[in-house]
Amino acid sequence: MTVIGLVRHGITDWNTQWRAQGHTDIPLNEEGRRQAERLARRLLDESWDAVYSSDLIRALETARKAIEGRGIEIRTDIRLREVNLGQIEGTTEEDRVSKWGADWKKLDLGAEPRESVADRGVQALEEIATLHPGKRILVVSHGGLIGQTIRRLVPLGETFSFIGNTSVTLVRKAGDGTWACELFNCTKHLEQAEG
């Protein structure tokens, strides 16, 4: 059985401003770095055989902090990037309504289709699982990519929710090729007091 730990990157200034990030390469802010440090403490007693990350700096910075001092190489994969949001990247909801009107979601503004996001996410995880059978693999990515990929691999129905910053989701691939979710969107490390 192969286990993949999916982690969303730490928070950025654009997250706090509710700006659409997509492929725009925004770094973690100070809070995001603290979240990544708490994630690292959480993962300290866990064994990981390999680490993959989106090539965008907010994910890569989170991955580096999460495994700091372990001597594990981080492999980047462009397929793990966030959803390409086209023309809305860098905008807030207010900006979008002002520029394109209240029905802006009905317009073709160049955003990547959800099906394409799920396709590349599933393809990446299937390939990672094939390369590391029976291992534990940490994958640091983005909320949109993780959400669409999980929806495709493990239908969670109405229990599906917003993917929190530095949340941990564990999925396992059985020998028969089926996927199951063992832990979803867990942020218990962010609730612990500084220490």
- Sequence ranges of the binding site: 8-15, 58
User: Is 115 noted as a catalytic residue in this protein?
Assistant: no
Residue 40: how many other CB atoms lie within 10 Å = 19
Of 23, 46, 61, 82, which is the active-site residue? Answer: 82
Residues at the binding site for substrate are: 8-15, 58
Of the CA atoms within 13 Å of residue 138, those in its CB half-sphere come to 29
Pairs from 158-161 (Cβ < 8 Å, separation ≥ 24)? 159/184, 161/185
Catalytic residue among 9, 61, 112, 142: 9
Tell me 94's DSSP state.
Answer: H
Is residue 9 part of the annotated active site? The answer reads: yes
Enzyme catalytic residues: 9, 82
